[in-house]
Amino acid sequence: MNTIKRWWQTEAAVTQIILAITVGIFLIEWLLLGDSGIMLFNALGAKNNQAIVAGEWWRFITPMFLHMSLTHIALNAVVIYFMGIQIEAMFGHWRMLLIYFIGGISGNILSFALSNNQSVGASTACFALFGAFLMVGESFWENPVIRQLSGRFLLLTVMNLVFDMFSTGIDIWGHIGGLVGGFLIAYTLGVPRIGKISNVKRVVATVVLVIAWLALLKMGFTNTKLTV
């Protein structure tokens, strides 16, 4: 018990748990799917607009744990590990967890509103981690170390989004939604380990996030027609 307690207190525990679950689910997918194709991805919980409209709201969460290929999971696993460690060190365990999931859900909600394509992948949550880091950079710009790191991550984020625009099969709306969602929820949660965020900014970020969710959900339900 003491070993578990020390691990939880000193290591990037949430990052490691998320990564282990994500990789574990991919291995199960690999064993189950084989060459069976996209239909089984849909059964496992891919973002599918018609299924969401039919009441399967969990599809805003489950796509974050599903991946199409070894390359897909490998790229996202690298981001989860290296970005997750940094975000968890700055925000703490529970804030990191909320940023990852709320940001990821935000990405899937924006994709639901603006794209009819089925999608899977932890990229929405990965971009939420980028968004949280950019929030730290904006809030603590006077810190030269944070300013330098934030500049690098801003460049990396822009490069990823530009790559998305010229790639096929990429859910760019999910990535943008994750980025913005991570940025806003990071403001809501604050970064007490680094410094204080004004209550006004935290309230504004929360209100904007909630209103955006409601508006995008309404748009998605309006634009999606159920087929029999």
Which residues are catalytic, by number? Answer: 123, 175
Residue 49 near residue 112, CB atoms below 8 Å = yes
Tokens standing for residue 83: 């970005």
Candidates 218, 219, 228, 212; CA nearest to 105 is 212
The letter for the amino acid at 209 is L
> What is the three-class DSSP state of 142?
coil
* CA–CA dist 177, 180 (Å, integer): 5
149 residue type, one letter: L
Is-contact 173 121, C-beta < 8 A? no
- Both tokens of residue 199? 């209550």
Distance CA 70, CA 181 (A): 27
Residue 29: what residue type? E
Lookup: tokens for 90: 């700055």
Of 160, 170, 121, nearest to 22 (Cα)? 121
Nearest one of 124, 98, 126 to 187, comparing CA atoms:
98
DSSP bridge partners of 71: none
